[in-house]
Amino acid sequence: ALVTTTEMFKKAYEGGYAIGAFNVNNMEIIQGITEAAGEMKSPVILQVSAGARKYANHAYLIKLVEAALEVNDIPMALHLDHGADFEVCKSCIDGGFSSVMIDGSHHNFADNMELTKKVVDYAHERGVVVEGELGQLAGVEDDVNVAAEDASYTNPDQVEEFVAKTGVDSLAIAIGTSHGAFKFKPGQKPQLRFDILEEIERRLPQFPIVLHGASSVSQEYVKIIKENGGKLEDAIGIPEDMLRQAAKSSVCKINIDSDLRLAFTAGVRQALVADPTAFDPRAYLKVARSNIKELVSHKIKNVLGSDNTL
């Protein structure tokens, strides 16, 4: 069934695991993710960015998720990723999503709280849950481009007031993850600020925390892409053991998009290079889809720890 994240997060918090939130843009991606979650007996969050709605159209995405639920009836949340303003959140709340993110992280503290509260009030009246964000990730966020040097970690002194005044159901924080496939400079040691996470957990006991920018950038897929005509120098992500450690804490939602893109692209490139005569899209999209499924199964089992929790 299409559900909110409330129950998922409660169980995840208690069980010391996290739910994967995977970005979806088309049928093959939705099929790969939901088949994997079904087989692993795991709940899953399908998230849609403004760019995904522009690409696929809201109506298609809603119907594709309905179809996925018909084939595989597991607890699924349909979530708006990085809602930039009240209007896009309202449109997704009115249009059948069970969860939205209002990303006011680039506003000042007071404006972020005011905007977030407005979305929470509208959403809660309609049974929809809301994710807010405090602190800024490095890298590319939808419409906002945050330079690495401007990235600022979440200030633990602000989290209690933010949650109390806005009424958000979960909180995205910045502790060193970043969006995209180039998270650390060559030679730079990947690092997450677990000390900040612990302090936030202390201030907000039992409260679900969200990690964005949490792809690991599998070097296996990077290699396949490079070997088959792609260019991807210095692509690097968050080591999986760090994410596993985060999943055991108050982190209840881990966002993954770049890893899906890499798995999908590796499949398409590999299939097309292996058979240059192929021009039936099914021939290469089925390889991409099966890579998505394999990747998501791996994440659920080895990184998130949400397998066998239904």
- Active-site annotation, residues: 81
CB of 295 to ligand G3H, least distance (A): 15
Q: How far is CA 167 from the centre of its chain?
A: 21
Closer CB to Na ion, residue 82 or residue 253?
253
Q: How far is CA 15 from the centre of its chain?
A: 20
Rounded CA separation 261/30 (Å): 13
Q: Tell whether residue 135 is a contact of ligand 13P (CB under 6 A).
A: no
C-beta atoms surrounding 243 within 10 Å? 25
Q: Tell whether residue 213 is a contact of ligand 13P (CB under 6 A).
A: yes
Q: Tell whether residue 30 is a contact of Na ion (CB under 5 A).
A: no
Q: Tell whether residue 19 is a contact of Na ion (CB under 5 A).
A: no
The candidate with the shortest Cα–Cα distance to 140, out of 129, 130, 131, 148, is 148
Q: Does residue 41 sit in helix, strand or coil?
A: coil
Q: Select from 4, 5, 9, 18 the one that contacts Na ion (CB under 5 A).
A: 18
Rounded CA separation 257/64 (Å): 18
Q: Which does 52 bind (CB under 5 to 8 A by kind): ligand G3H, Zn ion, Na ion, none?
A: ligand G3H
Residue ranges binding ligand G3H (CB under 6 A)? 23, 49, 51-52, 81-82, 141-142, 179, 257
Q: Which does 99 bind (CB under 5 to 8 A by kind): ligand 13P, Na ion, Zn ion, none?
A: none
CB of 282 to Na ion, least distance (A): 38
Q: Which does 256 bind (CB under 5 to 8 A by kind): Zn ion, ligand 13P, ligand G3H, none?
A: ligand 13P
Rounded CA separation 20/77 (Å): 11
Rounded CA separation 53/23 (Å): 11
